[in-house]
Structure 1
Amino acid sequence: MNKKLIASSVLVLLLLPVIILAFNPPPQPIEQELLVGDVVDNVLRWIVWPFVTGIVIILFIAAGLLFLTSHGEPGKIAAARSAVIWGVVGVAVIVISFSIVKTVTFLLNLLP
């Protein structure tokens, strides 16, 4: 079972860049001044957000595997449930942090 888990984890980690690079590329020709808000927005949109999305997907897959391998044992089910709960809390924190950054850049008029 461990060999299958390791093999599937390695496969997911190897395919993660392919999934991340499947996003549309940002517009290339930049002819105007580059604002701080634009830089922050581009870094969040094209680097941080895809990476965090991949990590969240891997986390929920791991939590699902914990549920599948628990075989009805209460301790393992509690650990899997805890992983899902903390995964949801992590997603909420990530969404709130991105919202705070967007709100601050909007309020400071850093975006056009």
Structure 2
Amino acid sequence: MSKLYPFMATQTRNKIRAIREVKGYSQDFMAEKMNISQKTYSRIESGNVKLDIDRLKQISDLLEVEPSALLDNETNVFNYYDKVNNSGTFYNVSSEEYINHLTAEIEYLKEQNDRLMRLLESKA
């Protein structure tokens, strides 16, 4: 018999929901793949259904992340879009690494914005 978690931490529920949304998966899709109803899946994400290890494993497999990444309070899971290779990958990183990643992304976007503004000005 699988170990049951009497509740799922808000952070875990938020990670599951965020990754599902980033991947473009609906609750219906997740429920179908898990062979449960959409209502049951919704109750999992809202924390109203006890999460057992088997379901946690199903969810992590569907989302392509390690189960520990969903449970670990010290780990942020985010989707990194590689501009060079035109592909996305999920990474598990510390909060500091995540902040560094977001800072680099902001700098990249600022550079792109400046470039576009210069192009617009040259066309005027």
Quickly name the TM-score band, shorter chain normalised. Answer: 0.3 to 0.5
Give me the TM-score of the superposition, normalised by structure 1.
0.32
Q: Which is helix-richer, 1 or 2?
A: 1
Q: Which has the higher contact order (CA 8 A, sep 6+)?
A: 1
TM-score under structure 2 length normalisation? 0.30
Q: Which has the higher strand share?
A: 2
